[in-house]
Structure 1
Amino acid sequence: MLYGVEGIGKSTFGSQAPKPIFIQTEDGLDEIDCDRFPLATKFDDVIAALKSLVSEKHDYETVVIDSLDWLERLVWDKLCQQYGVESIEKVDGGYARGYTHALTLWREVLDLLNVLRSRGMVIVLIAHSKVERFEDPESSPYDRYSPRLHKHAAALIKEWCDAVLFATRKMRTQTEEAGFNRKRTVAHAIGKDGGERVMRAYGSPSCVAKNRYGISEELSLSWPAFMSAMTAN
């Protein structure tokens, strides 16, 4: 899974993977030359696309779901339809049961992805980021970036993935005079075009990330850089 802010290059990363096909749950691929299924507007559209990759002959080597947070909306819509309610909060009488029931639909997606992975396909999951408050039992609470998903779904998908990558820009901070004996800390981008785009494959207080490949350094935001780091470890 690769997550980060809008426009940083997450879909481009997916398009650089070997022979990709996109399952798109949101618009945003107009500038990228890639094969794709029609825009999924229902959860069943996503399942149908995955089942076609499982059952039909093709030469695609990568499937990219873009994006998970928009897919989550389709999951919730499916549950609301099943239970005849207007909100995920009201599914099965409320009390957050809807988010637990949603895991059944998420597992349906992951089961199909497992079939494709067992056949040698690469799975790339794209998500946007959010800032969350993390209550660290060993220190004071702090803010960190995480995938923009409900915590139950996020936990399930993060465990399933071999790598959770955070896409960001290189920044530096410096203290400047703000007048009246006050100072302020200002962030500046490092590099051109708003800052060098990088990804982190390891967790830190600033972001949720992990990998099972032993990658412990910051990487350029590109598929070749990721592959190079994987083979070097």
Structure 2
Amino acid sequence: MSLLGNITTGRDNRPPRLMIYGQEGVGKSTFGANAPAPIFVQTEDGLGEIDCAKFPLAKSLVEVVEELQALRDEAHDYKSVVVDSLDWLERLIFDEVCREYGVRSIEKADGGFGKGYTHAIVHWRRILSLLDDLRNKRNMAVILLAHAKVERFEDPESSAYDRYTPRLHKNAASLISEWADAVMFATKRFRVQKENAGFSGERGIAAPIGAGGGDRILRTNCGPACMAKNRYNLPEEIALSWQSFIDAYGGSAK
């Protein structure tokens, strides 16, 4: 059969692969809990107030791998897998690399010089391969949650500035960002207003916009404030909810 016979056209209708990152308490886990029939793979203990299906808290990378393999190989009705969170999963990966090389710090693995972080990527690739199996073989949406950090960004076209990025080593952050269909920054909408600071003049303070401490949103495209991307032609901002994402995703196909 000619290779030309394998050519396909049209939109890929497989479930999405999402990474949502943001500050603590913004609503990332709630986003995942509202996905279709979700099951959480827990690497941190933060789901006590959320009614959801979840595996026991994983204390090793082996446990995480076994849970993903069970979702791939055993019968179940779950339609989404939520990994909560990536930065705590990274700690388990570092622990595994340290165990493999008989050292106590990732910095010392395989003689140091950053080699430990390179070996960690091997484990990340295995995790992403299992998640792809869940998406392709079990038709499950994949939602990866992570915390945020502020990182200096050296922009070759302008001056350097700070922006939010996932709280991961740069090697892992780059790999997962390339793999995901969308990387979205979860935050609250604020405005900066001035107040009188006495002899010091005026100062700016951040004030939330919206009820309940500020509207919770997802930023979907890269900008000076955060690292983000999507393959769906989403609006620059959408509400931080699964339904808002699905509405925007569906609208982008029109």
Runs of at least 5 residues in structure 1 that lack an aligned partner in the other structure: none
Task: Establish whether residue 219 from structure 1 lines up as the match of residue 238 from structure 2.
Answer: yes
Cα gap change, 1:181/1:94 in structure 2, threshold over 3 Å: closer, same or farther? closer
For normalisation by structure 2, the TM-score amounts to 0.90
Aligned counterpart, 2:48: 30
CA-atom RMSD, angstroms?
A: 0.8
- Equivalent of 2:116 in 82, 85, 98: 98
CA contact (8 A) 2:235 2:248 kept: no
Q: Segments of 4+ in structure 1 off by > 6 A?
A: none
Distance 2:211 2:95 in 1: 41
Task: Establish whether residue 168 from structure 1 lines up as the match of residue 178 from structure 2.
Answer: no
Distance 1:135 1:31 in 2: 39
* Aligned residue type for 1:39: L
Which deviations, in whole Å up to 9, do the C-alpha atoms of 1:140-193 show, x marking residues without a partner? 010000000000000000000000010000100122221226221111011222
Aligned counterpart, 2:147: 128
Aligned counterpart, 1:183: 202
Aligned counterpart, 1:46: 64
Distance 1:76 1:10 in 2: 24
* Aligned residue type for 1:147: P
The alignment of Structure 1 onto Structure 2 pairs a total of residues equal to: 233
Q: Greater CA deviation, 9-18 or 192-201?
A: 192-201
Distance 2:238 2:73 in 1: 36
Aligned counterpart, 1:68: 86
* Aligned residue type for 2:227: V
Aligned counterpart, 1:154: 173
SS of 1:90's partner is helix
Which deviations, in whole Å up to 9, do the C-alpha atoms of 1:110-168 show, x marking residues without a partner? 01111111121100000000000001011101000000000000000000000001000
Which deviations, in whole Å up to 9, do the C-alpha atoms of 1:62-89 show, x marking residues without a partner? 0000000000000000000010000000
Distance 2:41 2:62 in 1: 12
Identity of aligned residues (%): 58
Task: Establish whether residue 208 from structure 1 lines up as the match of residue 236 from structure 2.
Answer: no
Runs of at least 5 residues in structure 2 that lack an aligned partner in the other structure: 1-18
For normalisation by structure 1, the TM-score amounts to 0.98
Aligned counterpart, 2:156: 137
